[in-house]
Amino acid sequence: MKTVAVLGGGPAGAFAAERLARAGLKAIVFDEKLAWEKPCGGGLTYKAYHEYPFLIDNDTPKRLVNETSLSAPRAGAVRMELAHPLVIYSRMDLNRMLLARAEKAGAFIEKTRVLGLDRKERGWRLRTQSGIADADFCIIATGARNPLRHVGTEWSATDTMSALGYYVPASQAGIDIQFLPQLEGYIWVFPRCGHLSVGICGKGESAQSLRARLEAYMSERGISWRGSAFYSHMLPSLETSGWKKNRVSGEGWLAVGDAAGLVDPITGEGLYYAMRSGDIASQVVIDDAHGLIEKASAYRTLLAREFAGDLEYAASLAKRVFLGRFMFNSVPTRMIQFMRRSPIFHELMQDLFAVTQPYLGLKGRLLRYLIGTLQEVLTNFFLNRVIPGNSRASL
Ligand SMILES: Cc1cc2nc3c(=O)[nH]c(=O)nc-3n(C[C@H](O)[C@H](O)[C@H](O)COP(=O)(O)OP(=O)(O)OC[C@H]3O[C@@H](n4cnc5c(N)ncnc54)[C@H](O)[C@@H]3O)c2cc1C
């Protein structure tokens, strides 16, 4: 393996290039924009910076946010202290930092658009806006709007959601999350350095309708969008069927990040999976023990084992989380009510936010917690009845 072309220099591509260059390979990143304000909340979870501490230990501007408010119709809001802060970057800053790290490790960075790639007898020929480039191997990191049709995830309408919002010149201390009636998605308000990222994501609903919902929410909260920059983008959100046929690798190429559909179908978190898949892909490329076909299947296996299996399972839960009903009310409404009433449910939500609770173990933990919560509620009810004026009566 001599030259690895990394197509796309977002978090997935930049991180893969850094790893490849550190291992002594010639890695060339091709990106048409390089550091840019990609439409994104920019939130990095504890799981991400726990695994890659440089994501929190650096001089790049960022906000560390320790509190969240979650709201749902007919349940009001509940505040939650985060067990670990969410680190929020502007994407311009995050991309710039990751590209600088790649360059420092020895990767070559070229600002150009890749127009196509053709298989040669050995390796690849890339057609770019600035000419032709040859490579032995390709990492596809062109994001959710990957224009290269024969590599990476093949999108169907049901495997994506719309995400849009405004960068509002205002500030606040905590994050707001709002669930809405009949929406497989949610609204977020993320405080960033110097502005708020206020956005909405939703599946099966037009961008126009999502924008109307978001603007109604902003009006209600007194957040003005006039004069604020608008953003919109596609967010991968694979259904279970999408995960089963997901095209993440082939002979001589591996797809990473959004180009491989690697986004949490419930939260829309993609930054961690972009970097982690970039890391795993680079390890597979570096490993001399594998031939090209074996590399493709080794990567698929490693992804499934690390997190793709969990995300596939999450896809089977997503509709129930947002649109399901539990005890005559919507699941988000019940979730807020449980958080308010039960410290153990509250703790579970903190772990989900930090992504330290995999979806695959959620059912068992929920069952245990429901039993515990029921005990808590009954105990409080009993104390309230038997000892009137008991301080826990507020529950
Ligand atoms: C509105 C919104 C909010 C989000 N909020 C969050 C969040 O808060 N936290 C989180 O974890 N995730 C969030 N995500 C998801 C996150 O943005 C993505 O998962 C992440 O950007 C994926 O990184 P990537 O490197 O795979 O792709 P991208 O960041 O999309 O990078 C792809 C790169 O490829 C380049 N490119 C594309 N085509 C070509 C071409 N032909 N030639 C050359 N270059 C090309 C682009 O210029 C771009 O730089 C959000 C997504 C959206 C849409």
How close are the terminal C-alpha atoms of the chain, in Å?
Answer: 63
The CA-CA-CA angle for residues 368, 369, 372, to 5°, reads 95
Question: pLDDT by residue (tens digit) across 245-257?
Answer: 999 999 999 999 9
Whether pLDDT at 381 is above 80: no
Residue 43 CA, closest ligand 1 atom number: 8
State mean pLDDT over 134-159. 95
* Choice among 180-194, 200-214, 369-383 with the minimum mean pLDDT: 369-383
Whether pLDDT at 357 is above 60: yes
Of 19, 29, 32, the residue with max ligand 1 atoms within 8 A of its CB, to mutate for a pocket test, comes to 32
Average pLDDT, the chain: 92
Residue 39 CA, closest ligand 1 atom number: 1
Question: pLDDT by residue (tens digit) across 18-74?
Answer: 999 999 999 999 999 999 999 999 999 999 999 999 999 999 999 999 999 999 998
| Per-residue confidence band for 238, with pLDDT thresholds at 50, 70 and 90 | very high
What is the CA(40)–ligand 1 centre distance, in A? 8
State mean pLDDT over 113-117. 97
Instruction: Write out the two tokens for 154.
Output: 């093949």
Judge contact between 112 and 130, C-beta under 8 A. Answer: yes
What is the CA(41)–ligand 1 centre distance, in A? 11
Of 15, 18, 29, 38, the residue with max ligand 1 atoms within 8 A of its CB, to mutate for a pocket test, comes to 38
State mean pLDDT over 153-157. 93
State mean pLDDT over 322-335. 89
Closest Cα to atom 50, ligand 1: which residue?
A: 40
Q: State the pLDDT at residue 36.
A: 96
Instruction: Write out the two tokens for 392.
Output: 């826990």
Q: For the chain, how are helix, strand and coil distributed in percent, rounded to 5?
A: 40, 25, 30
What is the CA(143)–ligand 1 centre distance, in A? 5
Judge contact between 241 and 157, C-beta under 8 A. Answer: no
Model-wide pTM > 0.95: no
Judge contact between 34 and 165, C-beta under 8 A. Answer: no
Q: State the pLDDT at residue 395.
A: 31
Residue 88 CA, closest ligand 1 atom number: 8
What is the CA(305)–ligand 1 centre distance, in A? 23
Of 31, 37, 40, 129, the residue with max ligand 1 atoms within 8 A of its CB, to mutate for a pocket test, comes to 40
Whether pLDDT at 125 is above 90: yes
Whether pLDDT at 391 is above 60: no
Judge contact between 250 and 281, C-beta under 8 A. Answer: no
The label of the residue with tokens 């949490």 reads: 264
Q: State the pLDDT at residue 375.
A: 73
Whether pLDDT at 10 is above 80: yes
Q: State the pLDDT at residue 288.
A: 85
Pairing between strand 195-203 and 160-168? antiparallel
CB atoms within 10 A of CB 240: 14
Of 6, 29, 31, 46, the residue with max ligand 1 atoms within 8 A of its CB, to mutate for a pocket test, comes to 31
Question: pLDDT by residue (tens digit) across 266-291?
Answer: 999 999 999 999 999 999 999 988 88
Residues with CB under 6 A from ligand 1: 8-13, 30-33, 38-43, 113-114, 141-143, 147, 163, 199, 233, 235, 257-259, 263, 268-272, 274
**Which is higher by pLDDT, 31 or 347?**
31
The label of the residue with tokens 């994407």 reads: 91
* 2 phi and psi angles, rounded to 5 deg: -110, -60
How far is it, in rounded angstroms, from Cα 292 to Cα 301?
A: 15
What is the CA(172)–ligand 1 centre distance, in A? 25
Cα dihedral: 35, 37, 40, 45 (round 10):
50
Q: Which amino acid is at 57?
A: D
Closest Cα to atom 29, ligand 1: which residue?
A: 10
Burial class (CB in 10 A: 0-12, 13-18, 19+), 23: middle
